[in-house]
């Protein structure tokens, strides 16, 4: 049963004890990365046989396989994916940014150039956990940013095929190449390249602890989006919400993982009891009841506070992945929310709306990292370069300042590189 706490003066960390989840996979992952780096495709095929129980003769998904998948997937499912794509595109188009250029009267030109990352790798979980929404959320902002080549990796089923809905979503979203490989070995392949899998510049997408650890280890050779932790939902309620919907929203994240975190902060002890009772009634009805049960019992919390203002303050301390504001006049509280991955306003805005359809990205910072990081976006798929142009007259006016600065840092060659351009004028 979920814990109900009446908050006194405890901090969020005191209440949640949200410690970093430690695992012992580092050495295993390091070995896999090294083997793929040295063995290329042969190592990938060996690991797929070992971990996914499938013997592959080729790694790349063919056009024929994609066409077959599109025929296999229900037409209504295809239509829903297309409608979701339209919403996601419409939202993310607003994130497209251009550089700037400053031209001064003295002939100096300064600016910033915004360029897409050339090649990106998308990791998409496969097998029984088929999430076409993840394909859309990762591919669409990359495509809008202008990425030249988008490569997707996803583990195959035991028949050597990729889940048809994953292939259908990839075709609709605009993925360029798809490879049948998962786990840490897929991250290694994208980082170093093999005979079949090209090396990419950035890897995005969620995965299990082996995938997360692999992303951690290859960071620096390639860029990554984030190290994602367990899913989180925090619901703030003013005591007037329907207990059934609040409980259902909490369970929408609890069913993800045994270590997922589902939290309610409410101003009403009566509501806390009603939501707790609803959780007990709804958990047995879920196909993933065992997972939800463990999550609610071990990581779930209902915290009773004195006011919505106090609830928002506590929410800012927690910095959740998903924050639902189930209160009257939710827009009035938006300006007071400082730290949250994605914010859902009002009683008719379940977190699942954001997972699939509304448009904002569902790849979000977890574990309190919303204090300093952001959802996946078009910005993640571009890089910026500054540019500078000075005429000789413009450089002359600042040469002594630059030399003075450089010499006081002990970098005399820096100073000389400026002054040498004016040697003839000093004679």
Catalytic residues: 321-322
Mention every residue, 6+ apart, whose C-beta is less than 8 A from residue 329. none
Q: Quick one: tokens of 321?
A: 């992945």
What is the arrangement of strands in the sheet containing 301-304, beginning at the earlier edge strand?
3-6, 301-304, 261-266, 232-237, 322-326, 342-345
Instruction: Find, among 81, 246, 253, the residue nearest to 174 by Cα.
Output: 81
Q: Pairing between strand 232-237 and 109-116?
A: unpaired
Q: Is the dihedral of CA 64, 67, 72, 77 positive or negative?
A: positive
Give the torsion through C-alpha atoms of 375, 315, 313, 374, to 10 deg: -10
Pairing type for strands 109-116 and 202-204 reads: unpaired
Give CA torsion, residues 112, 360, 374, 325, to 10 deg.
140
Four-residue CA torsion sign, 350, 352, 355, 358: negative
**Strand, helix or coil for residue 340:** coil
User: Three-class SS of residue 289?
Assistant: helix
Quick one: DSSP state of residue 284? G
Q: In whole angstroms, what is the distance from residue 31 CA to residue 51 CA?
A: 14
Cα gap 88→357, rounded to integer Å: 7
Label residue 141 left, alpha or beta by phi (over 0 means left) and psi (-120 to 50 means alpha): alpha
Classify 419 as helix, strand or coil.
helix
Helices (H), 283-411: 289-299, 308-318, 331-334, 351-356, 392-408
Please, which residues have CB within 8 angstroms of residue 45's CB and are 6 or more apart in sequence?
Answer: 55, 56, 59
* Residue 420 CB coordination number (10 Å): 10
CA-nearest of 77, 59, 240 to 160 is 59
Q: How far is CA 130 from CA 87, 202, 249, in A?
A: 21, 22, 21
Alpha carbon distances (Å) from 220 to 51, 58, 69, 148, 214: 27, 29, 36, 21, 12
């Amino acid at each position: 049963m979920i814990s109900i706490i009446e908050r006194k003066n405890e901090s969020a960390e005191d209440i949640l004890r949200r410690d970093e989840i430690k695992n012992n996979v580092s050495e295993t992952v390091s070995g896999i990365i090294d083997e793929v780096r040295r063995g290329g495709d042969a190592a990938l095929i060996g690991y797929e046989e070992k971990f996914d129980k499938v013997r592959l003769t080729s790694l790349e998904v063919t056009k024929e396989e994609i066409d077959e998948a599109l025929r296999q997937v229900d037409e209504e499912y295809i239509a829903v994916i297309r409608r979701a794509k339209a919403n996601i595109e419409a939202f993310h188009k607003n994130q497209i940014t251009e550089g700037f250029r400053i031209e001064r009267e003295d002939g100096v030109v300064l600016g910033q150039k915004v360029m897409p990352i050339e090649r990106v790798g998308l990791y998409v979980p496969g097998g029984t956990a088929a999430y076409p929404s993840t394909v859309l959320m990762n591919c669409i902002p990359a495509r809008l940013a202008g990425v030249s080549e988008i490569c997707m990796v996803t583990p195959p089923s035991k028949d050597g095929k990729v889940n048809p809905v994953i292939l259908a979503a990839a075709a609709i979203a605009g993925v360029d190449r798809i490879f049948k490989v998962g786990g840490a070995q897929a991250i290694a392949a994208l980082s170093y390249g093999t005979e079949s899998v090209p090396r990419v510049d950035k890897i995005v997408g969620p995965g299990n602890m082996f995938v997360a650890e692999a992303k951690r280890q290859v960071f620096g050779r390639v860029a990554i989006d984030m190290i994602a932790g367990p899913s989180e939902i925090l619901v703030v309620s003013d005591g007037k919400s329907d207990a059934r919907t609040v409980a259902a929203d909490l369970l929408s994240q609890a069913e993800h993982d045994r270590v997922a975190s589902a939290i309610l902060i409410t101003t009403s002890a009566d509501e806390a009891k009603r939501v707790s009772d609803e959780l007990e009634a709804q958990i047995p009805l879920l196909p993933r009841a065992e997972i939800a049960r463990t999550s609610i019992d071990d990581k779930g919390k209902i915290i009773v506070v004195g006011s919505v203002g106090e609830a928002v303050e506590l929410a800012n301390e927690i910095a959740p992945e998903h924050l639902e504001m189930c209160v009257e006049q939710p827009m009035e509280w938006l300006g007071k929310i400082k730290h949250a991955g994605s914010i859902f306003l009002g009683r008719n805005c379940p977190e699942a709306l954001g997972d699939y359809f509304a448009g904002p990205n569902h790849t979000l910072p977890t574990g309190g990292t919303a204090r300093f990081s952001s959802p996946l976006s078009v910005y993640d798929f571009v890089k910026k370069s500054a540019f500078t142009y000075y005429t000789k007259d413009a450089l002359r006016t600042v040469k002594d300042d630059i030399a003075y600065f450089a010499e006081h840092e002990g970098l005399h060659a820096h100073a000389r590189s400026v002054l040498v351009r004016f040697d003839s004028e000093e004679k």
